[in-house]
Amino acid sequence: MKHLVGKVITKKFPFMEDEVEVRKLSVKEVFEVQKLVQKSAKAKGEEAQLGLLRDVIKLAVIGAEQLSDEEFNGFPIADLSSITEDILEFSGIGGTPAGNSPPKT
């Protein structure tokens, strides 16, 4: 199993009638996303929700870390929400950005 440490798993998802490549989040990154969700839930503003979408996308979508906040603001909110849900589900978190912890198994 040791040879798999650091291995990056990716999958392509549709985004704005094109596709983007998404990295499966590591355990550390999943915990980071959960903290971001909790922080966003406390803020409860639209800007906080948009910030959450941006943070999750920058963390997982290959090449998105280079986008500015202004560039993110140019994307349709429905598409940002949809790709964020895809990222969370692909990484085993499930639910929506405003969701809770991963389901217990």
Residue 95's pLDDT band, with cuts at 50, 70 and 90, is low
Q: Which tens digits make up the pLDDT trace of 13-40?
A: 999 999 999 999 999 999 998 888 888 8
CA contacts within 13 A on the Cβ side of 78: 2
Question: pTM for the full model?
Answer: 0.79
Residue 84 pLDDT exceeds 80:
yes
The two structure tokens encoding residue 102: 């991963």
The pLDDT tens digits of the residues spanning 42-83 come to 877 788 888 889 999 999 999 999 999 999 999 999 999 999
Residue 49 pLDDT: 85
Contacts of 96 (CB under 8 A, 6+ apart): 81, 84, 85, 88
